[in-house]
Amino acid sequence: GENVEQHPSTLSVQEGDSAVIKCTYSDSASNYFPWYKQELGKRPQLIIDIRSNVGEKKDQRIAVTLNKTAKHFSLHITETQPEDSAVYFCAAHNYGQNFVFGPGTRLSVLP
Amino acid sequence: EADIYQTPRYLVIGTGKKITLECSQTMGHDKMYWYQQDPGMELHLIHYSYGVNSTEKGDLSSESTVSRIRTEHFPLTLESARPSHTSQYLCASSEGPNTQYFGPGTRLTVL
């Protein structure tokens, strides 16, 4: 079955700097890769996603890149702000299977 | 507004009690899921359903049971709660190969 690894487990950056979180997956049939942000005491919320027929997707300060050959995808946050502090989860999904989540990255943006 | 609803949001009960956590979605999604999550930690899939009268156990062994009699409703039942069941329980739903949406969660404490 699918296995998703996520690194780093914790990340601290200065406000205004960039943050990068990387995930690798094992099942080459996975074709949908969402990223979720979970703030303290709240539900995970989708922030960006990418499908396997696309290599990169951007939404304002957030971007996701996908390398199908290497089976890894990354979340990039530019110009970080204190409100970006949260736990971020990546996931991989293959139609007909369940979502498999990474273990999460705790991002702290220091003022 | 289309959303996922969970009740109760917080529950404190004594050991040995039977409890049911409610989850309803108004998005018309076919797939529904239950996850167990300690705050800010990994999401562990405990049950899922691909449609009415379909239920399966997830990756994390659980002493709970679920039912799916109606598309929009996916309750989770603990026959005899124990302190080890203390955690947050998140319900989610998705349509086909698309994004999974999460409910606000139920925070359960078993004394």
Q: Is the pLDDT of residue B96 over 80?
A: no
**A35-71 pLDDT, tens digit each:** 999 999 999 999 999 998 889 999 999 999 999 999 9
The pLDDT of residue B63 is 87
Q: Is the pLDDT of residue B105 over 90?
A: yes
The pLDDT of residue B39 is 86
Q: Which of B38, B42, B93 to mutate to test the interface with A (most CBs of A within 10 A)?
A: B42
Q: Is the pLDDT of residue A85 over 80?
A: yes
Q: Cβ contact (<8 Å) for A101 and B103?
A: no
Nearest CA-CA partner of A92 in A7, A20, A26: A26
Q: Cβ contact (<8 Å) for B99 and A46?
A: yes
Q: From the CA atom positions of chain A, what is the Rg in Å? A: 13
The pLDDT of residue A42 is 94
Tokens linked to B101:
């949406």
